[in-house]
Chains A and B, each alone.
Chain A
């Protein structure tokens, strides 16, 4: 039974792979770290993409695989979200534990691990902010978390805001006092201002996506291009840390004023 099904399956898989490679060259991406040598089960060379061409057992995803590579995407920041979803659904159909319920324990474990990785990858890439944070981690290496920093020009304003929030919280016993009401309105105005600021930052970030993608599409990664990329990454990181700070402020304001 398995032997009969084999040629059909591997043919199908190789067609898909060729198509994808073609797509990647256009986008100017690097080779995918997908090469796994041996099937964990039958020890034959893995010719299929995720399933062994010989025994049709699912293969664990490579430990070096990053989220972009998992979706066979170049490391670009503008992503076709429809396409992303389509690939996600397709890979889910390949890996999801629901389809391995009748298989043996090893296959169940691989399906579970692959599925968990795929879900994390999709969640990260789907969201434009998480996507860029992840890219910065990948490209810049060591930086683990993006710290939140107040934007320099908002320093004074934020100090005053903190004080106002303290006062407002202090007036908790005088629910309807005009003083508290006035303060609430001021804080709400302040929040709207910060939200505008946040939207502005996101627009700025989008422009940087564009810059990054253009640099990525240049065939070389040497000299000036390399420096330019580093500078774009730094720029994005700064915007992100300011944005995170503003986000936290907005949330705190929302919690305080209700």
Chain B
């Protein structure tokens, strides 16, 4: 059995974790940082993901995709309110959003796959083995289409997704494993783009979810937006400027707003600096200002908490422990509100950014057959039903039902000789079809018989991933019928296959982009180190040599701005050759120093 990794595919940051001798561990990048910003940049040289793409955001915002998770499993109408905030244009095909970058269009699962591939590569480099299997987390309140889209992303990235697991439950696994907690716990998970609340009962290694609720459209990104709106207004008023016309500057404002928000969790004041073309905009923000801006958003998380408690049949005081998950729970305001609601201080001992990925690794371990002690029993967050007469939804599986679960429904005909029945599957809590989420449609074949005689039984099964499967059987002949379900907001199998093929092509572009970035980073490091060395060795080498080195350095500085990694490599080699003597001289000097200081220390002894 090959290794299974756990992946937290977040709105703003993503992480990958594995099980290391019975304990989950997040895999760091070469720089030791575990978070990979969920940002993808399409440069002329191909694809860049993570931190390099974040830098790309202010240079070329129209070709940089962020917060793609918000688009997963959605149509254009679902995101119409926030279109104005995104610097790239979107359209819809077959109910699925497509993101336009230059000549090309990408579906959200394709972009997510690029992030997944980066994580996969990171793990492969760290673990020195091929990674092909993963557990991926999603917000608990994700519907069927959003889960399916996440699974598709995994496939496009060349990963077999063994399980889609809910983020708060993943956090509970990591937390419960470490703390050996028993009793009722509430996981309050406020991330970059989504909010979840899950209430679990922990008993003898069984993690049983009692209820879950949330808002897949509420998170730190929205906090940023409130701050951005204020800053933009002020910049425009003060400097007689329309900053919205400068997408790259807007991204600069966005990053500054996020930075200030993060700082204000630790400090009571933070300064925002935006470089405008002609002048500099500066503003000092207080924690109070931020809190008053986001108060309404934070309070919006309380209604789902109350709803979850009600569904679990519990009062707030019956919760033994409250655990905070997600970067946004670092805000003191959030902590205070949660504490007020549950009447006890929440726990946040585990790193709220990493705990979900750690839990995914625990679940991966269970699926790999290495952990028989722990079992997670999760629920479906939304009621599942079908459309009936008069545009009303008839629920077949209620929300907060433990999964896997199934419901059977018998269908017949209304007219003599009718040969098919159309079935529309929905998810949601509202009475009317139009207020719920359309998941899929399919056509049930009926034998041509008098009205009411055919009897076809349809089984709706929600698996442990929270994903729906539909099967049908003719009761009279007891023959199974194949059902072609057409998702309302999902990619078809053919499309996914096409995207898997395309991803190989992207892979080549990826490699090229990576080579440029790596060469550039290396060149920068050499420039900095050489300049430092020149400073130290100014009286150890001749002026002529010094001038020669400076000339080479300047040339390397020019080359590394370009996109030709071979030229940068050549520049690095040239610099190394030119500084060889300098390095030797410095080494001698250092050795001499060391020897002398040793003598002194021996003498002191």
Interface residue ranges, A against B (CB under 8 Å): 85, 89, 92-93, 96-99, 101-102, 112-113, 115-117, 119-120, 122-123
Contact = CB atoms under 8 A, between A and B. Distances in A.
Nearest to A111: B404
Contacts, number: 58
22 contacts: A85-B203, A89-B203, A89-B204, A89-B375, A92-B206, A92-B375, A92-B377, A93-B375, A97-B463, A98-B163, A98-B366, A98-B375, A99-B372, A101-B368, A101-B369, A102-B367, A102-B369, A116-B461, A117-B406, A119-B405, A120-B405, A120-B406
Nearest to B369: A102
Interface residues of B, number: 24
Contacts of B1: 102
A97 B461 CA distance: 13
B464 interface: yes
B401 A119 contact: yes
Given A98-B366, A102-B367, A113-B406, 7 more contacts: A92-B375, A97-B404, A101-B369, A102-B369, A112-B463, A119-B404, A119-B405
Nearest to A117: B406
B497 to A, nearest CB: 21
Contacts of B368: 101-102
Given A112-B461, A116-B461, A120-B406, A101 B401 contact: no
The 8 A-B residue pairs with the shortest CB-CB distance in the complex, in nearest-first order? A101-B367, A116-B406, A116-B404, A119-B402, A97-B464, A115-B404, A89-B206, A119-B405
Interface of B: 1, 162-163, 203-204, 206, 363, 366-369, 372, 375-377, 401-406, 461, 463-464
A81 to B, nearest CB: 13
A110 B402 CA distance: 17
Nearest to B4: A101
Contacts of B402: 119, 122-123
A96 B374 CA distance: 11
Contacts of B369: 99, 101-102
B6 to A, nearest CB: 14
Nearest to B407: A120
A101 B463 CA distance: 13
Nearest to B206: A89
Contacts of A115: 404, 464
B377 A96 contact: yes
Given A93-B375, A116-B406, A98 B401 contact: no
Nearest to A85: B203
A64 to B, nearest CB: 15
Contacts of B163: 98, 101
Contacts of B363: 98
Contacts of B203: 85, 89
Nearest to A102: B369
Nearest to A108: B463
A98 B206 contact: no
B3 to A, nearest CB: 12
A116 B405 contact: yes
Contacts of B376: 98
A101 B369 CA distance: 8
A241 B372 CA distance: 44
B367 A112 contact: no
A201 B533 CA distance: 89
A116 B375 CA distance: 15
A102 B369 CA distance: 7
| Most chain A Cβ neighbours within 10 Å, of B163, B404, B405, B464 | B404
A101 B162 contact: yes
Contacts of B403: 119
